[in-house]
Structure 1
Amino acid sequence: MKLAPMFLVSTFIGILLFFNFPNNLDTKEINKDKWVKLFNGKDLKDWHVKIRGYPLDVNYKNTFRVTDGVIQVNYDQYDDFNESYGHIFYKNEFSNYKLRLQYRFTGKQLKDGAGWAKRNSGIMIHCQPPESMGLN
């Protein structure tokens, strides 16, 4: 029975090494000054818009727009929200990344908008590809 604690400690150390060691080998040296700019400050040409109930790249009621060099998500042209959740996807996939951004909330929540979505930054790091999303 004295071997059991040693076995548990060895197993625990092995698990730690297994999950940490490959990350250290695969990580390339990152130049902290080299950032990939995703937004050009002018338009959404490098982005895919997906709004529930509409095909990919149909930007229903101009929900996603660029104003004064800023991407805005705005439901001001909607009469009702009607669960018209919107997503915007960058054209390329990334791995081993860090994001740097600014966001702020303006305006009011639509009257029939979900309470959990109030003041939601909307940033999803890992998600399904937009091409795989159906209309609903």
Structure 2
Amino acid sequence: MKNCIALLVLAAMLLVQANATAQTRSLFNGKDLSGWHVDVPAMDTDAKAINPFIIRNGLLVSLGTPQGHLITDAVYQNYRLQVEYRFAGVPGNCGVLVFASTPRALYKMFPKSIEVQMQHGDAGDFWCIVEDIAVKDMETRRGPKANWGITEGKERRIKNLTDTSEKPLGEWNSMTIECVGNTIRVWVNGDLVNDGFNCTAAKGNIALQAEGSEVEFRKVELTPIKKLSPL
């Protein structure tokens, strides 16, 4: 009888693990940009402007210019996003935008969202883009409260918790972003680098940037979750 119970428990555990694995899916297929759409302002008026987002050797690549965004067709909430990326050539700038909605809401370029910074040396910063989020030690990490804001000319950057988590240029970095309810937590190569709460959004599209630098992505995977990982 005990052996039967043990087998049933083991079977149930394996089923849970299998379901969890089945829920994780890549947001790009290694062949084309199915499931995404491009928003690059320069492409509206310049017939010679290229699409800066391509698939190359199975990698999703942001060429950096012209600047704009690659945005999921689907809206997501309550998930873990795992991204593996590298600046293969020179240090540069890019970002992952979560809870994205209204396009070109800031500087006629950036969609309304919270940006999780990937810029070399600053990975894990939050940037508020017509959405807001709070963190502990807010004034230390964002500057004087009188200057805070979510639009042009305001203090929109919220500094990450560590600048020592990134790998050397050319090596692959792992970034994990958990969005549950109005909370966003970010890990870079296993280090907790930001923990935000009271976000003014709880769902939206996911976007990747073309922001001046070539970036390669070898993983963009999403797993639905109900609870944040323990700290």
TM-score normalised by L of structure 1: 0.52
> Which residue number in structure 1 is paired with residue 36 of structure 2?
47
Write the mapping of 1:1-136 to structure 2, written as runs, cut at 5 A. 31-33=19-21, 34-55=23-44, 60-75=49-64, 84-108=66-90, 118-120=92-94, 122-130=95-103
**1:88 Cα deviation from its structure 2 partner:** 0.6
**1:59 Cα deviation from its structure 2 partner:** 10
Decide which structure has greater strand share: 2
State percent identity of aligned pairs.
Answer: 28
| Structure 1, gaps ≥5 residues long | 1-28, 76-80, 110-117
Greater length-normalized contact order (CA 8 Å, ≥ 6 residues apart): 2
**1:131 Cα deviation from its structure 2 partner:** 8.5
**1:50 Cα deviation from its structure 2 partner:** 1.0
Q: Please give the alpha-carbon distance, in whole angstroms, between the structure 2 residues aligned to 1:62 and 1:43.
A: 12
AA aligned opposite 1:94: Y
**1:85 Cα deviation from its structure 2 partner:** 2.5
| Structure 2, gaps ≥5 residues long | 1-15, 110-231
Aligned pairs, how many? Answer: 90
> Which residue number in structure 2 is paired with residue 19 of structure 1?
none
Q: Please give the alpha-carbon distance, in whole angstroms, between the structure 2 residues aligned to 1:119 and 1:59.
A: 24
C-alpha deviations, 1:68-108, integer Å up to 9, x for none?
11110114xxxxx6xx4211111100111101121111224
CA RMSD of the aligned region, Å?
Answer: 3.4
Q: Please give the alpha-carbon distance, in whole angstroms, between the structure 1 residues aligned to 2:32 and 2:96.
A: 19
Distance 1:60 1:37, change over 3 A: same
Corresponding residue SS for 2:82: coil
> Which residue number in structure 2 is paired with residue 4 of structure 1?
none
C-alpha deviations, 1:13-49, integer Å up to 9, x for none?
xxxxxxxxxxxxxxxx995322132111100122111
Q: Please give the alpha-carbon distance, in whole angstroms, between the structure 1 residues aligned to 2:33 and 2:68.
A: 14
TM-score normalised by L of structure 2: 0.33
